Amino acid sequence: MKEGFIKISGGPTHVITWGRWIEEPLDDVPEIVICIPGNPGLVGFYTEFLHLLYEQLGEKIPVWIIGHLGHEEPSKDCKTEVPCLKGNEKIFDLNGQLYHKKEFIQRFVPRNTKIHLIGHSIGAWMVMHLLEFQDIRQLVKKCYLLFPTIERMIDSSNGWNFTKIGIPLYTVLGFVIPLFNRLPKYLQICGVQIYFWLLNIPKSFIETALEYSKAPVMEKVIFLAKDEMVRVRDLDQSLMERHLSLLKMYYGTTDGWVPVEYYKEICRKYPKIDAELDKESIDHAFVLRNSEAMSRIVGKMIKEHSEILK
């Protein structure tokens, strides 16, 4: 595993790779896997899942993940700082994050390398819209949309909770986050450990959670989520029809963002769709507790469409 921050769309972006670093030659690499996360887009939440996926693929296909711009801050010795949100909203909203991923692929993936493109949650929306760029579509072998938030986010139970409860709470109590950031690190860790204990989240994510709790990061995460509520409304049927053959979709049965009814409706609209309903009670935020199961499931999907693993 190798990781670092690279400048994309004017800001430092956290990237982690298994098998081949992004700046190493890829001329002899016929296929790679690229994962676009959900929101929050902190790559630390995905390391266990992608490490296990890399092993599922026999360590024969490089696996990359790119975080969302502004969702992590590099160390103080980094030459590039994350721009502030105010005055730079266009690079942090949904379209900005989409073009951020477009620039990454165009810069680092050679024309002779095929991509297995994973999109989790809002990352699935980004994956689908990346296919609208012809030069990227030509590189894509298959897209794997996991718990895809591609329609009616605000109508879901979690969408209602976020807009009616989450946003007002953040507006009123947002001042607590900078105060939390000023606490000694050991007290911050204690606070996160208590929260993790209440929600039964593994302690291995503490460092990533501390990064997430930084005020400049949190405001960009919330800003993107608000934009999602506005932008991700009705299903883009023309987009679906243009790229249906490239899509493999995986829906949950206990998903507060993507209820089972969305799965049933999309299957009725598109009888030929390659969509699957989870049978293992895996959470929408699978990276927290279900990485092993999802790595096995996604590994099987990729093996079915990979030329070098057949």
- From 9, 93, 100, 121, active-site residue: 121
| Token pair in block for residue 33 | 């896997």
306: left (phi over 0), alpha (psi -120 to 50) or beta: beta
- From 255, 278, 291, 295, active-site residue: 255
Q: How far apart are the C-alpha atoms of 220 and 196, rounded to whole Å? A: 22
- From 14, 116, 120, 284, active-site residue: 284
Q: How far apart are the C-alpha atoms of 149 and 258, rounded to whole Å? A: 6
The torsion defined by the Cα of 235, 236, 237 and 239, in degrees rounded to 10, comes to -140
Cβ pair 124, 150 in contact under 8 A: yes
Residue 121 annotated in active site:
yes
Q: Identify the DSSP state of 203.
A: G
Cβ pair 215, 177 in contact under 8 A: yes
203: left (phi over 0), alpha (psi -120 to 50) or beta: alpha
Q: How far apart are the C-alpha atoms of 33 and 44, rounded to whole Å? A: 17
Q: How far apart are the C-alpha atoms of 55 and 78, rounded to whole Å? A: 31
**C-alpha distance across the termini of the chain, in Å:** 25
- Angle 34-37-201 (CA atoms, 0-180°, nearest 5)? 125
Q: Identify the DSSP state of 147.
A: S
Residues recognised as catalytic: 121, 255, 284
